[in-house]
Amino acid sequence: MKYQNPIVKGFNPDPSVCRVGEDYYLVTSSFEYFPGIPVYHSRDLVNWEQIGNCIQDIEDFPFQNVADSGGVWAPTIRYENGTFYVTATFDAYGNFMVHTENPGGTWSKPVWVKAGGIDPSLYFENGKTYYCTNQSLHPGQEEISLYEIDLESGEVIAEGKAIWNGTGGGHLEAPHIYHIGEWYYLLAAEGGTFFNHMATAARSRSLWGPYESCPDNPILTNIHDTSKAVLCAGHGDLFCDHRGNWWMVHLAVRLSRRTMTHLGRETFLTPISWENGWPKAGSGKKAALECEGPLWAEQKACSVWKADFNRAQWEPEWIFLRSPQRDRYRRGKGYLELYPSPVHFPDGKNPVFAAIRQPDFGCGLETAFSFEPCEIGDEAGLAVVLSSQFYYRFVKKRTGEGDFLVLEKNAEDMYQRACEISVSSGRLCLKIQADKEFYHFSYSTDGETYFEAAKASTRFLACEVSGRCFTGTVMGLYAASEQETGAVMRVCLFESRR
C-alpha cells in the first residue's frame, strides 16, 4: 500500500517509537518549547494523533535559561512490565528519565541519570536496565557506551563499557539496542544532523560486544539523492509491527526553496527488509516522500484543528517558549485571554506566545480577537517564529500616530515593516495562508470579507539561514508591550488547516 512521508509533519525531529499490542506510541524532540516531548499515538503507523506531552511540570526542569535549540533533545520511548519509560537529554544539565502507565496522562517527575553523553536510550533484559549513550570513555575517540543502571535512582551500577566506534562518519550519536533472533543490533546516527546525516548499524552475539559494523553501512542516507526531494535522513528507531513487518521511524527534511526548509526536521517512516542478517532500509537506502509498504489502513486526508476555549485545559498541541508565565494566560467560557508582557522574542526568555507547530508547507491559520491597546507599544496578533532572532509578527499595534495593523519582519539584524493599516476598535480577524515560498497575511473586520495586507518570504525563516537551528517554524498568538499595561487580547477563535 502506498503512503506519503512525513507521517508526522512539521517540527518533529529525533523520533522514537514503541509498540504495545496493536498500539504505537511515538515521541520527538521539543528543545526550548514547553510542555516538552510530544507523545503521539497510532494504530496504523500512518495516522498519528498527539495525545500528550512527557514534560508537564515546569518546576521540574530549568527551562528559564535555555538557549535557542537548547532544552530537550533526542528522546527514546520504551515499554516494560506495564510501564512506559522515556529518556532524553536536557542540554547542559544531563540525561533524565520519566515514566507513566498512561502515555496520554500524567508522567512522573524526572530521575536524573548519572551517565554522560547525549541521545540516551534504554534497553531492558532479564530484569535489568541498560543505558546507552554516545559517551566517549577514551579521550579523542567517538564511542557508543553502555551502562547498567538502577531504574529507580538513575545510578550507574557498574562501570560503563565502550561497545562501538561507528564507521568514521563523524558525530556518532542516537544509539538504540535491539535483541533480534540470535543477534544484538545497534542502530546509530552519524554524519551530523544536516546533509551528511545517516543511519548506521552494527551487531554482536553479546550485549556487551564486540560489535561488528554492517558491511553495507550506512543503511539509510540521502547524501547521494540527486532528486533533492528529501535530505538529512537519519537518527532512527527500528520496530516490528504486530503483523511481523519491520520499519524505521527517522528524521528527514523536505525542501521549500533549493536546499532550505523552514519546517525543520520531520518524522518519516521507511520499510525495513532483512538481507544476510542485516536491516536494509527502503529502496536504495534512501528515504522517500512516496513509499510502499505492508500497511493495513489508508492514510487520511488533511485535517482542521480548532482550539476549544470552552475548556480551561490546554490541548496537547499548544507549546510555549521556555518557562511560560501562567498568569498571562486565562481560558474558558469560550475565550482565551492573553495579557501582554514587556518580554520580546530577542530577549531569549518567555514572551506571551501560545503556539502550535506549523503543520505543513501548505497550511492556514486563522484567529478572531479583540484588543484595545492602552499604551504606545502595546501589540497583539499572530506570530510565525523560528528562533529569537528570526520571526514575523502580524499584529494590531499602538504607535504615536494611532492604532495600526502591521507586519513586522525580523531576520537577525534586518528589520522591515511590510504594512501599516489603520484599524479601529472592535473584533479583528487575521489569517495566515502559507505555501512553500511565502506567508500571505490578510485581515477582516467582519469575519467574512478579507483583505490582503502583505506577504513574507519563507526564506528568512529557513533553518539554513538562521544557522545552528534544530527546531522549525511555529505559529501562534502573541501579545507584548513596552511596559506593563492594562490591555488584554481576548481570543474567540484559533483554527489551523492543512
Closest listed residue to residue 48, CA positions, set 72, 71, 27, 76 = 27
d(CA 131, CA 380): 46
Closest listed residue to residue 207, CA positions, set 179, 234, 243 = 179
Angle made by CA atoms 496, 264, 429, in degrees to the nearest 5: 25
Closest listed residue to residue 456, CA positions, set 495, 417, 403 = 417
Kindly tell me the sign of the dihedral angle through the C-alpha atoms of 291, 297, 303, 307. Answer: negative
Is 374:480 a contact under the CB 8 Å cutoff?
no
d(CA 143, CA 116): 12
- Tell me the three cell numbers of residue 478: 502573541
- Tell me the three cell numbers of residue 360: 505543513
d(CA 315, CA 389): 27
d(CA 66, CA 147): 28
- Tell me the three cell numbers of residue 250: 527517522
Q: Which of 14, 32, 142, 379 is catalytic?
A: 14
d(CA 308, CA 430): 18
β-sheet with 111-113: strand ranges across: 72-80, 83-90, 94-100, 111-113
Is 229:255 a contact under the CB 8 Å cutoff?
yes
- Tell me the three cell numbers of residue 6: 512525513
Q: Is 14 a catalytic residue?
A: yes
Q: Is 173 a catalytic residue?
A: yes
Q: Which of 173, 366, 379, 403 is catalytic?
A: 173
Query: What size, in residues, is the chain?
Result: 498
Burial group, residue 154, by CB count within 10 angstroms (0-12, 13-18, 19+): buried
Q: Is 240 helix (H, G, I), strand (E, B) or coil?
A: strand
Strand 94-100 to 304-306 pairing: unpaired
Q: Is 60 helix (H, G, I), strand (E, B) or coil?
A: helix
Strands (E), 342-388: 352-357, 363-371, 379-387
| Catalytic (active-site) positions | 14, 173
